[in-house]
Amino acid sequence: MGEAIYRTYRVVARRSEGSVGATLILDGPLQAEPGQFVMVWLPGIEERPLAVMDDDPLALTVRVVGPFTRALAACAPGDRLWVRGPYGRGFPVRGEQALLVGGGSGVASLTLLAKRLMQENGHVRVALGARSSDQLMLPWRFRELGCELLLATDDGSEGLRGTVLDAAEPSLSAGWADVVCACGPEVMLLALARRMEGSDVPLYLSLERSMKCGLGICGNCYCGNRLVCLDGPVFPVQEVLCLLEPPP
Amino acid sequence: MAIDMRVDLAGVSLPNPLVLASGIWGSVAGTLVRAASNGAGAVTSKSCSLAPRIGHPNPTVLHWGHGFINAVGLSNPGAHVQRQELARAHEELAPTGAALIASVFGDTPQGFADAVHVIAEAEPELVELNISCPNVESEFGRPFALDPDAAARATEAVRAVYAGPLLVKLSPNAPELVAVARAVVAAGADGLTAVNTLGPGMLIDLEARRPILSNRVGGISGPALRPVAVRCVFELAGAVAVPIIGTGGVSSGHDALEMIMAGATAVGIGSGLYCEGDGIFRRVLEEMEQWMEQEAVDSLDEIRGCAHG
């Protein structure tokens, strides 16, 4: 019938993500590149960007941080979501031995990449970090895909006690990876970028920003002279290193 | 012979007539300078008020079949924060030769004056008064741009505190557009920007059975606005002697030349950045130059306002 701005999906299944939030499996596919995002509207509540966790069927993982994400995470099978997109530049699907590094809600933008890389017969190691084991995002999904998991928690309740960078360190120092892709808090991305300075292994970073249009028009998601929705959210490290915020 | 694309906008020399329109790409030095480095002859910051504003919740900007509809609600960090960012932008813009136009709005004539007073310290080449935002009517009442007297009062109040080049951005929704233009020029405006968004309009989602924008209504821009904008520029150029930035749906050299023929001195580009990003400035300039070469037109002065016959 044409012209509709949103595609409407129904929630088919909801999977709790511990104390973090939930994953919603929807009733249809969405063709997307790994790392791209969609704008999700809940009428009467708000519209926000979310990473495409999986593409067929479309799945979204939501971390509860405010009223919108609380309402989204509370969706039950049968509930409807309004989706536009996908938008932005995603991760290149390259590398025979890929190291993915994720923290916070950013982890959801790495799962589709892991799936594509596994489909290409790549070896995928995934380093995940969180405060404690119940806040680790989507380890089940990476396990399901057959990735090798490297876990770290601040309190040592799962994996090694430390940061996600500690979990990734043995792979980094052994020169295991031929590509590294990361998404998470900017402090984490900056630390990873600094750790890999001088390395010739390509590093791609996915940035997170508050967005309004998602279309490269409003400028709300700027990072220096870049627009995260238009130029990103995934950037080769060289493009954004000088723009990342140093830790306070 | 080289084609001369320079234009004089209210005493400010621009390397070319293309202007990044207000509200596009925000107000930070990084994105404004990027637009200038990629060919914009001037860049306009997003409208700012004395006090910060959050604006409307999302959805605020939507792309539909023939353009955009938006109701961002004038979100901005407030004049004091904006002043610092614009001062930085002004400094970084210098090597590009592009002018900085600072867009300002207020809820009262004094509100306009207070905000301009602060922003002027960033030394933008021009100030643009946004008296025509259609998206804050429930909060601020009828836009000043719909009424000649109200528009003149806002302009006068600013003129009393700011001596530099002053543009006033008009609304295509004004029933007496020419009367509004004459009133703001008499009150001291040095130029006009024509036009702001059209409408307001509304989009309804069939599944949700409700308006999509959180503000319910929003201003229309992009291709759907263009013929209306051209008509407005044509009417204004025939009625007032001040320079006009013709803005509304321009996305090609053809569209820009159409604005010039209607009487515009410079041409704003906003929604056109969709898809193409800032590559649009160079492309539109090249298309303009190509046409001018073919038609043996050496400068824009030769064709400006020619549609008036």
Among residues B49, B72, B79, B136, the alpha carbon closest in space to that of A211 is found at B72
- What per-residue confidence (pLDDT) applies to B2? 74
> A97-243: which CATH topology?
Rossmann fold (3.40.50)
Give per-residue pLDDT as tens, B151-204. Answer: 999 999 999 999 999 999 999 999 999 999 999 999 999 999 999 999 999 999
Whether A1 has a pLDDT exceeding 60, the answer reads no
CB contact under 8 Å between B57 and A225, yes or no, is no
CB contact under 8 Å between A44 and B210, yes or no, is yes
Give per-residue pLDDT as tens, B74-89. Answer: 999 999 999 999 999 9
CB contact under 8 Å between B61 and A4, yes or no, is no
Residue B2 lies in a domain: no
- What per-residue confidence (pLDDT) applies to A101? 97
d(CA B242, CA B119): 23
Among residues B135, B175, B180, the alpha carbon closest in space to that of B154 is found at B180
- What per-residue confidence (pLDDT) applies to B309? 85
Chain A residues with CB under 8 Å of B273 CB are: 216-217
CB contact under 8 Å between A217 and B206, yes or no, is no
Closest approach of chain A CAs to the CA of B24, in angstroms?
Answer: 5
Closest residue on chain A to B222 (Cα):
A217
What range defines the domain where residue B72 resides? 7-308
- What per-residue confidence (pLDDT) applies to A203? 97
Number of domains in chain B: 1
CB contact under 8 Å between B46 and A41, yes or no, is no
Query: At CB < 8 Å, which residues of chain B contact A?
Result: 23-28, 30-31, 33-34, 46, 57-65, 68, 70, 72, 75, 203, 205-208, 210, 212, 214, 270-271, 273-275, 277
Chain B residues with CB under 8 Å of A218 CB are: 23-26, 60-61, 70, 72
- What per-residue confidence (pLDDT) applies to A192? 96
d(CA A144, CA A158): 18
- What per-residue confidence (pLDDT) applies to A181? 97
Catalytic residues of B: 133
- What per-residue confidence (pLDDT) applies to B260? 98
d(CA B45, CA B125): 12
CB contact under 8 Å between A41 and B63, yes or no, is no
- What per-residue confidence (pLDDT) applies to B3? 87
Residue B64 lies in a domain: yes
- What per-residue confidence (pLDDT) applies to A199? 94
Residue B215 lies in a domain: yes
- What per-residue confidence (pLDDT) applies to A2? 59
Per-residue pLDDT band for A188 (boundaries 50, 70, 90) equals very high
Alpha-carbon separation of residue A248 from A104, A221, A224 (angstroms)? 18, 21, 18
Mean pLDDT of chain B: 95
Beta bridge partners of A13: A25
d(CA B102, CA B126): 6
Tell me if residue A214 falls in helix, strand or coil. coil
Residue with tokens 């997109």: A85
CB contact under 8 Å between B207 and A44, yes or no, is no
Of A82, A213, A225, the CB nearest to B31: A225
CB contact under 8 Å between A219 and B203, yes or no, is no
CB contact under 8 Å between A8 and B25, yes or no, is no
Give per-residue pLDDT as tens, B57-67. Answer: 999 999 998 99
Of A4, A215, A222, the CB nearest to B61: A215
Average pLDDT per consecutive 10 residues, chain B (309 residues; last block may be shorter): 88 98 92 96 97 95 94 94 97 97 96 97 98 81 91 97 98 96 98 96 97 97 97 98 98 98 98 90 97 96 96
Beta bridge partners of A236: A204
Mean pLDDT across A156-176: 96
Chain A residues with CB under 8 Å of B206 CB are: 4
Alpha-carbon separation of residue A28 from A53, A59, A78, A83, B62 (angstroms)? 13, 9, 13, 11, 23
Chain A residues with CB under 8 Å of B205 CB are: 4-6, 43, 82
> A7-87: which CATH topology?
Elongation Factor Tu (Ef-tu); domain 3 (2.40.30)
Closest residue on chain A to B55 (Cα):
A212
Among residues B35, B50, B158, the alpha carbon closest in space to that of B89 is found at B35
Mean pLDDT across A40-51: 96
Three-state DSSP string of A117-186:
HHHCCCEEEEEEEECCHHHCCCHHHHHHHCCEEEEEECCCCCCEECCHHHHHHHHHHCCCCCEEEEECCH
Of A3, A80, A222, the CB nearest to B28: A222
Per-residue pLDDT band for A245 (boundaries 50, 70, 90) equals low
Residue B1 lies in a domain: no
Domain ranges of chain A: 7-87, 97-243
Of B31, B60, B65, the CB nearest to A222: B31
- Residue B72's CATH number: 3.20.20.70
Chain A residues with CB under 8 Å of B59 CB are: 39, 41, 47
Of A82, A213, A227, the CB nearest to B205: A82
